[in-house]
Amino acid sequence: MLKARAFMILTAAATMGAACNGYSQSSAGGAIDPADAKNTVVLRVNNKNTSPMELRMILNGRSEFVGSIGGNDSTSLLLDPQLFPTGLLYIVAIPSGGRGRAVAGPLSATKGDRIDFTIEPALDQSRAIVVP
């Protein structure tokens, strides 16, 4: 029983690692190339909550994983350029415990814009703005 449980945990970890492999993410200390930023939308996230968060965007009723962020951390992500321009974008942060969520939107963004998303300790007070 214990070996089966360990195998399931390792399988889940490997699957999650492979799923996250293709996403472009830089830490707060890293820099995003301005040429790349011009061709898409940059999502800058400031997590003031102590919980790590899964970041998703909802576009046309479809939810897509875009990255993750640790508690009390900040990061910048390049979003998929094929999705822009758009006028009905929602950004969602889901805590690792799965209790509650921070939702911002609808947002209107086009290539070259930056979305500043702030996740507050009280998730329902989180906000996002689009900076051209």
Can you tell me the mean pLDDT for 90-117? 95
- Which amino acid is it at 24? S
Full-model pTM: 0.74
Q: Give me the CATH code for the 25-131 domain, please.
A: 2.60.40
The predicted-structure confidence for 12-66, as pLDDT tens digits, reads as follows 555 544 444 444 444 444 577 777 778 899 999 999 999 999 999 999 899 999 9
Tens-digit pLDDT profile for residues 16-27: 444 444 444 444
Query: Residue 70 pLDDT > 90, yes or no?
Result: yes
